[in-house]
Structure 1
Amino acid sequence: MMSLPFDSGEEYIEQQFSGLTVTQEEVTAVTFEECTFTNCNFSETQFIRCTFRDCQFKNCDLTLIDVDYSRLQRNQFEECKLIGVNWAKAGQIQWIKFHGCNLSYNTFMELDLNKAVLTHCLAKEATFAETNLTDANCTDTDFVDGRFIHTNLTRADFRGAKNYAIAAAENTLKQTKFSLPEAIALLDGLDIILENPTS
């Protein structure tokens, strides 16, 4: 078994971590505050009852990590691989930013993601059921086969986003921003006939 670079119960403040490989391990009750992780591989690692506060992750592999009972407060992920993460298992998520990340097969079910940022990401088959995305910035993200069910999208910004399937009758759309031609997808599921005007 490899030696972990983090000690259980310890606090790490304003630390810079670069090139770490901690895979298929268990990290328990560790607090990270204002830390930066660059080019790290944490795939399939369990972060149990950990706290990440004001941290930045850059070009990291976080595929299939567990965040069981962990607290994530004001963290930013840039160009990271986060495939298959179930964020609903976290104890708390307070504002989160993803830019240029692979969020495929992620679950954000029943989370309060007010003012969250998901820009220029791939969110293939991501689940946003019962999620609060009020004032969220989702611009230029690919939501191919994503699931929006009873999602609050009040004032959310989907301009430049694509491949989303958002049923107007099943979600809250108030002052939600969309751009053409992708916004035509909002008509799917409605009992209407849409024709091109004849010349």
Structure 2
Amino acid sequence: MSLPFDSGEEYIEQQFSELVVSQEEVTAVTFEECTFTNCNFSETQFKRCIFRDCHFENCDLTLLDVDYSRFQRCKFAECKLIGVNWAKAGRIQWIEFHSCNLSYSTFMELDLSKAVLTNYLAKEATFAETNLTDANCTHTDFLDGRFIHTNLTRADFRGAKNYAIAAAENTLKQTKFSLPEAIALLDGLDIILENPTS
């Protein structure tokens, strides 16, 4: 099939809607202030591409390959981003995910400080050696997700659920949690917790 993007080209303030670019390879393309709506990029490889100030809405990006691509100030709303290895990206700066499905994704060794990850599903997502300083993770479902040596300084987890964050293995400084979900932070500690007698 003929691709809608030419390698090495730059697209500025373009609006793309209903595109189907599945299992294809897009190389060295720059997108600046572009909007993608109802597009299907599942299993597509974006190699050495640049996305700057772009907005994705209701797109299918399942198993997207972001090999050495850069994402700067991009927003994803109601998108499927299942199984994406974001650690392969060249750079991620100030990214936002709103009501997305990020299950089985990997964010290993990334700087996601001030990132917005709200109201989304992150089943079995991996945050290892990740910097989530000042990140907004409110109202997100982290079912079976993994936090390993993650910096959660001033991160906001209010309203989030199903997270398993080992306090001794991650950095928790002024991190915001809400009850009753915050009780999960006691898991793994050598303590005995009892209900008060009536």
Q: Same fold (TM over 0.5)?
A: yes
Match of 1:109 in 2: 108
What residue is the counterpart of 2:29 in the other structure? 30
Spell out the pairing of 1:1-40 with structure 2 (5 A cutoff): 2-40=1-39
Letter in 1 for 2:108: M
Is residue 2:68 matched to residue 1:81?
no
Give unmatched runs, 5+ long, in structure 1: none
Aligned counterparts of 1:92 and 1:178: Cα–Cα separation in 2: 29
Shift of 1:112: 0.3
Matched residue type, 2:159? G
Give the letter aligned to residue 31 of structure 2.
F
- The 3-state SS of whatever aligns with 2:185 is helix
CA distance in 1, matches of 2:145, 2:70: 25
Structure 1 residue aligned with 2:197 = 198
Distance in 1 between residues matched to 2:161 and 2:103, nearest whole Å: 14
SS at match of 1:67: coil
Match of 2:92 in 1: 93
CA distance in 2, matches of 1:95, 1:105: 21
Three-state SS of the structure 1 residue aligned to 2:126 is coil
CA distance in 2, matches of 1:118, 1:31: 24
The number of residue pairs the alignment matches comes to 198
* Corresponding position of 2:179: 180
What's the offset of the Cα at 1:83?
A: 0.2
**Structure 2 runs not aligned, ≥5 long:** none
* SS of corresponding position for 2:102: coil
Cross-structure match for 1:42: 41
Matched residue type, 2:172: L
The CA deviation at 1:155 is 0.1
RMSD, matched Cα: 0.3
Runs of 4+ in 1 over 2 A off after TM superposition: none
Structure 2 counterpart SS, 1:148: strand
State the distance in 2 between where 1:96 and 1:110 align: 15
**TM-score, length basis structure 1:** 0.99
Match of 2:139 in 1: 140
